Amino acid sequence: MKLDYKKTLKVGTAFAIVMVFWSAYDYVVPLLLENAFGLSNMWRGLIMGLDNFLSLFMLPLFGKLSDKTVTKFGKRTPFIVLGTLITVVLMVFVPVSANKQLKEASVLRAEIVAVAEGRQDIYLEKDGTAYDAEGLYRMLFNKGYENADYCDHDYLDRNGLDTWEDYSRIALNPYTNADGTPSVDKNGQPTYSAQYKNFVKSGLNTYASAQVNEKLTMEQPATLVIYMVILFLVLMSMATFRSPAVALMPDVTPKPLRSPANAMINLAGGVGGALAFIIYTVVLLINPTGYIMIFALVAASMLGLLAAFLLLVKETKLVAECKALCDEYGISNDEEEPKASTDGAVLSKAETAKHKKAKLVSFFLILSSIFMWFMGYNAISSNLSIYITKTLNLSAGLGGIISGVSMAISAIAFIPVGYLAVKIGRRKSIILGFALAVVAFALIFFFAANPGAAVMYLFTIFYLVAGFGLIIANVNTFPMVVELSSTDTVGKYTGLYYTATMSAQAITPFIAGIVMDKLGNKFLFLYSSLCVIIAIALMFFVRHGDSKAIPPKSKLELLGGED
């Protein structure tokens, strides 16, 4: 018995629909919240987590509803079709609702930059305080002792720039290199010097965001409210079909093959993520505020993937084929209770109850471990674009390229990672993946958390290692959950899996935002590594849900295998 790769990839087009949306959402929405509304890390994290609170209730609900649905198209297909169509209609209004304020915020930011570069005489704060270039930078320098995001004095001190004279020499000469020569790009046009980008620009950007929040968002809160209502409706429509889309894989796959099958589903999801990456990277490189175009193209991609799904996947036929294959090999996709102990003795009621309790404990340990690794993973994914642009001072488009390279590595890794579980087991594979992620996150914190010439390369390498580790975990955690389900509860267990992931994603952007606001953006990856360490500890105590050997078709085949 072998996995039908072609069939599984076809089934994966449902997950690709989900991922093209979420990949764009996780990268683009934080930028939109930052650029249009100037929200702090904490408040932006709270908004990024609100959709996950909604999912806590809706994903298990619609997973269970799809278990009980009977149509000529199958259990999951109606949810996938209707959910996608409603989402596509609504999602374009997300950037449209913020477009007016985005334009006003761009004008305000440009005014602050003009004063900072000496192209405008003064900038007037809401309270009437007027700043020229020197006054503006002195304010940032002094406030940096209270707010590290305005001016990171620890970073300045480590680089021997601990006085106002040192800082102002760089700040007031943004287009002059340290040796006094003009800073120009390859076309000979003036560009910010490396010192200015490393030591000054991030704090100025943070100040500009604070001014956008104070002068625009706080003065026009209705714009943010309208934006949130539309976002809420979009996320509700997405929640109606995420569990059914994912539950389709175990519906059509025998249990022993679900880890490699989940790898293929994630590969299909990676195609959706790659589409989103191409869209937002190209658009942001051409137009840093082209959010309407991004959402429109993502909506079109979702419709294209839905058309492919309907053309390629006939759910009822695939479910029947899976049942026939299971019958041929004597496999049950229901969780079977042992009738005898290892020595052949019939289990007593007490022993049976003990076994059920042990499985339940493992189930909750698996969900808890999933919760903790998503706490670490989503803290980064929901803040990645901000970390790249504000902490590392790289462009949003360049950040998109780094994210895209990670997706490409994922695509290459999915198939071998899926079969790693067949060789060493799901639990050991997951712990190995977690360990790789912890090491990589720690390396980013210690060696790639400050702007510098090599930071892009160090960050990319370490980030790819972490991504590879989390691919191993991602491929195997979901099969461990549905391993403990039955044919009639796959949707329910899928919903519970997403309860664990979404509850983590509901709170971790807010907590990570507090960490970044209080300790500095560079502590994001340290926070994430601590979360994944806890996930490792929980997974060590799991005893059920691991992959099982594929049974032989007959006793003769079993004898042949023993030879």
The pLDDT tens digits for 489-540 are 888 888 889 889 888 888 888 899 889 888 888 899 999 999 999 999 999 9
Nearest Cα to Cα of residue 252 among 307, 316, 197, 302: 316
Give the pLDDT confidence score for residue 148 in this predicted structure: 66
Residues 6 or more apart whose Cβ sits within 8 Å of residue 49: 382, 505, 506, 507, 508, 509, 510
According to CATH, the superfamily of the domain at 8-100+222-334+348-539 is MFS general substrate transporter like domains (1.20.1250.20)
Give the pLDDT confidence score for residue 344 in this predicted structure: 52
pLDDT for residue 432 is more than 90: yes
Q: Which residue has the higher pLDDT, 48 or 18?
A: 18
For 179, 203, 276, 359, 449, the CA distances from 459, given in Å and listed in that order, are: 28, 21, 22, 40, 8
pLDDT for residue 549 is more than 90: no
pLDDT for residue 145 is more than 70: yes
Mean pLDDT for the stretch of residues 219-226: 92
pLDDT for residue 131 is more than 60: yes
Q: CA quadruple 52, 28, 305, 410: dihedral positive or negative?
A: negative
pLDDT for residue 558 is more than 50: no
Element (H, E) at 482: helix 455-483
Which of the four pLDDT bands, split at 50, 70 and 90, describes residue 405? confident
- Which residues make beta-bridge pairs with 346? 340
Query: What is the number of alpha carbons within 13 Å of residue 69 lying toward its C-beta?
Result: 25
Mean pLDDT for the stretch of residues 290-309: 96
Give the pLDDT confidence score for residue 526 in this predicted structure: 93
- The answer to whether the beta carbons of residues 449 and 528 sit under 8 Å apart is no
Residue range(s) in the chain whose domain bears CATH number 1.20.1250.20: 8-100+222-334+348-539
Residue by residue, what is the 3-state secondary structure of 24-48?
Answer: HHHHHHHHHHHHHHCCCHHHHHHHH
pLDDT in tens, 322-360: 999 888 888 876 655 555 454 555 556 777 778 788 888
Mean pLDDT for the stretch of residues 167-175: 94
Mean pLDDT for the stretch of residues 120-133: 93
Give the pLDDT confidence score for residue 555 in this predicted structure: 42
Q: Which residue has the higher pLDDT, 199 or 407?
A: 199
pLDDT for residue 563 is more than 60: no
DSSP character string of 313-376: --HHHHHHHHHHHHHHHT--SSPPPPSB-TTSPBPPHHHHHHHHHHHHHHHHHHHHHHHHHHHH
Which of the four pLDDT bands, split at 50, 70 and 90, describes residue 109? very high
Which of the four pLDDT bands, split at 50, 70 and 90, describes residue 293? very high
Would you call 124 helix, strand, or coil by DSSP?
strand
Give the pLDDT confidence score for residue 539 in this predicted structure: 95
d(CA 507, CA 191): 40
Both tokens of residue 218? 């706080």
Give the pLDDT confidence score for residue 346 in this predicted structure: 57
Mean pLDDT for the stretch of residues 206-227: 93
pLDDT for residue 466 is more than 60: yes
Q: What is the mean pLDDT of the chain?
A: 86
Give the pLDDT confidence score for residue 556 in this predicted structure: 39
Mean pLDDT lowest for which of 65-79, 132-146, 452-466?
452-466
pLDDT for residue 562 is more than 50: no
125: left (phi over 0), alpha (psi -120 to 50) or beta: beta
pLDDT for residue 559 is more than 50: no
Mean pLDDT for the stretch of residues 461-481: 87
- The answer to whether the beta carbons of residues 20 and 275 sit under 8 Å apart is yes
pLDDT for residue 306 is more than 90: yes
